[in-house]
Every structure is written in C-alpha cells, then in structure tokens.
Structure 1
C-alpha cells in the first residue's frame, strides 16, 4: 500500500528536474498525477519517463491565469477533485543590483510568486478538506548570494504564503508547507551555472566544499520529502519550511 493511494495530485512544472522526480515518486506511492509545463515535447518525454497510465500532462504556463483555469477545469472534469497541489513551477535568473531591470523582476515574480498564488487559489474549489499544498521554495529564502536578490525575494515571498495560508485554511484542515532545496542537480541549476558540463562541475566542486554533507543533491532527494509533506505522515505539520539542502542553510 502506497502513502498516496487514491490521491489526485497536481504538479506544476512537472516535466523535468524536481517536478518530474516528484511525479515519479507520487505515482510509485499510488497517486494519479497531473503535470504541467510550457513545452509539449518536454511533457511528452516526462510522461514516457514516468511510464504509467496514472499521469496526464497538460501544457500550461502557470503565470497565465486563463491557462491555470483550464488546468483546474480539466482536472475537475477527469477526476472531480484534487488532494495534493505541488506548486513547483519556477524560474531563476541572476542580476547584480545595479543591472536589475523591470523585465528581470517581472520574469521571476510572474511565475515564482504570481504563479504560485493563483495556482493555489484556483485549485481551492476542487480541494477537499484535509488536502495538502506544498510550495517549492529555496535555500535562497534565508541565504544571501550575489546577484540573486530578485529570485531570493520571490522565494521569501512564497515562504510567507505558507505561513499565512496555513491560517487562512485552518478551518478546512488544509495543510500548507514549503520544501526548500539547496544546491540540486537539475536542468535549471545547470543552466544557471553556465550551461556547460565544465561550468556545472566547477559549481558542484564549489558547493561540495561548503555543504556539510559534502555534495549537491539529486532531484529524488527533494521528491521524497515532498511525498512526506503530501502524505498523512505529516498530518500534524503545517506552515513550515523544510530545508533539504545538505545542511547548508544551517551554517
């Protein structure tokens, strides 16, 4: 018996990285999973990798409210409800303070903050009492790194969402938590490092020297704590930020 048997889950940004790894773990634990993403070819590849009939891919940009409406309508039509929302879709780019532009700010906040807010808001009408909402945060919510100020602010914002929403939704017994990864080997992390394998390896070596566990994380090491937060194993947990970062946020 899986930890999520019979549950219906939505994972935004589910075509690669942490989202895809979480979709795989959710299916292993018995859930039916809807994944979203902006690129159909990436979604098709993700469905093939998940390798289960218990997944549906929906092309959608989480920063576009009409597309979020469509996602929720499809889920309602097919399954009638949602039990788990993993608001995972996000972007990251860097800029030093003196070079930040309005476009840079909007690009990050439109998906990382607005997208999370309206994903959750629009899902509420098909979330039964006792459901679980998980938001993908980041160690950047508490750590300062050069040129990451806008991205870090977006992750601090969603951490605050969880605090407030856990109170807003307390009468419905809906739990809201944040999982905050540290350095993790994902396509987005490799892109931020410069895109080449050499640049990524240099980043890995740098982080390995400062992370107490001595290495970067893998997507499935984030996915399994998300399963915990989605399941009844975390039934007395709400409003928290769970760091999955090899200890970097604690030093």
Structure 2
C-alpha cells in the first residue's frame, strides 16, 4: 500500500514550483490532494496535469482562507496533511528604502497568511496529522537587502515551533523545511530575466559545498517523509536542504 492512501492533503501555492512538485509526490503516494493558488487558470491547469483538486484562493486574504476552510470542511471533512507552501520573495533593497507596500505584500502572504491558514485548519486536522511549513535558510541569515523576506521566514519558524508545542497533545506534528537555492519560477516572478536567473544560479552554485542547486523534487521528498508514519516522532524541527551552504 502507498504511504498516503486514503489521506487528504492540502498544498497552498500548489500550481507551480515546490508546491507543484510536492502535490505530484503526494498523489504518487496515494493521497487526494487539493492545491490552491491565486490565478484561476494556472491552478486549474496544474490540477488537471496532476490529478489534483483546484481551489482558487489568495493566502494574503483572510476571507479567502476562511472560504477555503469552509469548503473543505463541507466537502471533504478532516485533513491529514497540510503543506503551507505559498510565499513570495518581494523586492530586494536596503531597509532605508523599503516601501510599506513591499513590506505588507511579503508579510501578508509569507507570515500573516501562513499563520491564519494554520489557525483556520487546526479544527480540521485529524489527530496525528502532519503540518509542514515552507521556510528558507534565510530565516537564520541576515544578508543585506533582504530584510523583509528574511524576517517573514524567521517569524514563520517561530510560530511553527509554538504550534508544535500547542498541538502535541493531539499528536499533530508541525515541522519546517528550509531550502537553500532551489530551481523554481520564483526568481522570474521577482523580475529577473532568464539570463540573470542563470547567472545567479551559477554564482550560488560555487558557494554550495555539493556544487549543485536544489530542485523542487528534493523539497517534495522531504515533505513526504515528514508527513509519513516514519516521521511520527518528529515535531518542531527545521530541516535544511541547502547542499551545505550554511555550514
């Protein structure tokens, strides 16, 4: 029997990148997967390709989060796996010139949205369920020109550990996966052209001891492991997938 047969999984931001790869891996292991995203066409296209169930929602919108929760409760019942993946990098720049708009956009999706997605789904989580938050190695870094993104992931890690403590009595496990440089569409969405993206990857690769850039599939396999029975004694932990970059 596959690891997730008869399990229901929610993947936010599941129409591309890490979310898409994780939804695919969960489905291959037998799970019924609901993917969310802000763009109707993209979410429905991805769902058709994957064999997933689409739901259009913006993680930055509390109303959308509540509608997602209500829909799943009414149509599917309890949830076995919650992967809070949706996030953005925002615009890079020094603290001195960071705009309120950029600050709000990043925090509303990466932190506020993730926080209230977790909050809304706690009543729907089965006892023994798995929650995985997509964080980043930047949560423990303090590089110039990335203050808001770094802060959003550090805050996410903090509430994830608190949630692990609060939900332990129900055997609900909450863990974080923190990738390093990973090949996804996120840099293009941030405004870099393809040549600029490749140049950045080449530069980053030289800083990684394993001399390779991570893939969405690397993260997907870790999420699957943390959501499986094999990881039943793991909670409140952060798993770094960076090829040794932060050693």
Give 1:4's aligned residue: 4
1:243 aligns with one of 231, 240, 245: 240
* Secondary structure class of the residue paired with 1:131: strand
Runs (5+) with no aligned partner, structure 1:
none
C-alpha distance in 2 between matches for 1:56 and 1:213? 37
1:159 positional shift? 0.6
**What is the total number of aligned residue pairs between the two structures?**
246
Q: Alignment partner for residue 87 of structure 2, among 87, 90, 107?
A: 90
TM-score normalised by length of structure 2: 0.96
Matched, 1:161 2:154: no
Give 5+ residue unaligned stretches, structure 2: none
Alignment of 1:93-242 (within 5 A): 93=90, 94-192=92-190, 194-242=191-239
- Stretches of 4+ aligned residues off by more than 6 angstroms: none
Shift of 1:236: 0.6
Task: Determine if the alignment matches structure 1 residue 68 to structure 2 residue 76.
Answer: no
* 1:49 is the counterpart of 2:46: no
Aligned-residue offset at 1:73: 1.5
2:26 maps to which residue? Answer: 26
- CA offsets, 1:41-67, max 9 Å, x none? 1112211321x2xx2110000111111
Deviation digits for residues 114-150 of structure 1, max 9, x if unmatched?
1111101100111111111100000101123221111
2:80 & 2:207 partners in 1: Cα distance?
38
Aligned mates of 1:136, 1:147 — CA distance in 2: 21
CA contact (8 A) 1:142 1:249 kept: no
Q: Offset at 1:39?
A: 0.1
Report deviation, 1:226: 0.5
CA RMSD of aligned residues (A): 1.1
Is the Cα contact below 8 Å between 1:87 and 1:136 reproduced in 2?
Answer: yes
Alignment partner of 1:180: what SS? strand
Q: Name the TM-score, length of structure 1 as normaliser.
A: 0.95
